[in-house]
Amino acid sequence: MKTLIKNGRVVDPSQKLDAVMDILVEDGKIKALAAHIDEAADEVYDATGLVVTPGLIDVHTHLREPGLEAKEDLVSGTMAAVHGGVTTIACMPNTKPVIDTSIVVSGIKKRAAEEGYAHVEVIGAITKGENGHELSEMGDMAARGAMAFSDDGFFVENPRVFVLAAKYVTAFDKALICHAIDPSIGSDGYMHEGAVSARIGVPGIPAISEDIAVARDCIISEYTGAHVHIAHVASKGAVDIIRQAKKRGANVTCEVTVHHLTLTDEACASYNPATRVSPPLRSWDHVQAMREAVLDGTVDAIVTDHAPHAPEEKDVEFRKAPCGFCGLETSLGVMLTELYHKHVFDLNTIISKMSCEPAKLFNLKGGTLKEGSVADITIMDLNKEWTVDSSAFYTRGKVTPFEGKDLKGQAVATIVDGKFMMRDGVVCTR
């Protein structure tokens, strides 16, 4: 099968490329990339006026399978991914049962390969049952293809356990992804501690709960040499701690979510349960610090932390709502609307942080349009205007704080392994 993508603006930071070019895809690979390609193809896709990039890679999602399929499963989650222009997702282990054994890793990867619409990488748990006490079978899970390890949703509070985990993963060159929030500080809080929480009468979670945990994990990375990746950093203090650790040569990386780049704690003033997340939405000074950290290279990846819940779980008062909301289908549109069109980030920065750098961080295929690489491609219309309507989402978790928001920019086609998985807003037959 040959597909020729014609006349698209190719933006590929991995090759420092931004030019109108043609791309020839054959047998799931990029066969040629040139200013003009005249070779015959089974399909010619006219990308005139569109932007063609390496497929987006989201290294922090929750697919909820096994055990929590009422929230999401591998099929609905990967359909949501390609609908949003994402070709690879990495799923977190806080499922039922927890992904803490090699057989669960194998089962997820097998089902994803057979029925998924996007590539699925699996993140195994650091500790058994994510209980923070006893190390999981990380070596066995790594042998079965686990991308990294995390107790996401929980902070590994015992420093001895975390040191042992850090020493262990260096043996097979994997990363520890840290949910670095100390629960002993602000455990009775529900949102960011600040002027807004005081005004609306909701107990707050101080930013130092994140700062202290991040500092500890950076110190352990320096001590052991392990690759420690800080998940969903949201505090200006925490991101500066990471910046300084990197300057000292620590093997520390980090990610920021789309919502921590675009929303502040003012969004919580409506008591909308969709705005309850962990870490909480913070004040503008923290958001500004996250943006600066993306621009100066401290932040390595931009993620969704796609966390779908059943509608009845979120349709409760703010304090009782579980943390998280669906993000795969809005992430690109929100980034383009709030950060590209408002001249905060250029397109190169967005694609680098949402595709190229995540691929490098975790040694994933994709993240490039180099000849011979896998044909994972996102085609987007930077000027397409649309309104967020969760009823049209493919994810089972329909709750989003962006409901009804007018956006500018959207993925119009998603190609995975050389095959169209989404075009014109509709997910294709697998």
Catalytic residue numbers read 305
CA–CA separation, 297 vs 25, rounded Å?
32
Q: List the one residue out of 339, 420, 355, 413 whose CA is nearest residue 380.
A: 413
231 C-beta neighbours (distance < 10 Å), count:
25
The secondary structure of residue 374, as a DSSP letter, is B
CA dist list (Å): 152 to 37, 289, 327:
46, 23, 17
Beta strand 175-178 pairing with 2-12: unpaired
Residue 7, Ramachandran bin (φ over 0: left; ψ between -120 and 50: alpha; else beta) = left
- Where does residue 31 rank: exposed (0-12), middle (13-18), buried (19+ CB within 10 A)? buried
Q: At what angle do helices 208-224 and 159-169 cross, to 10 degrees?
A: 40
CA–CA separation, 37 vs 24, rounded Å?
7
What SS3 class is residue 281? coil
- Where does residue 426 rank: exposed (0-12), middle (13-18), buried (19+ CB within 10 A)? exposed
CA dist list (Å): 52 to 55, 256, 309:
9, 24, 32
Tokens 């705005």 — which residue? Answer: 275
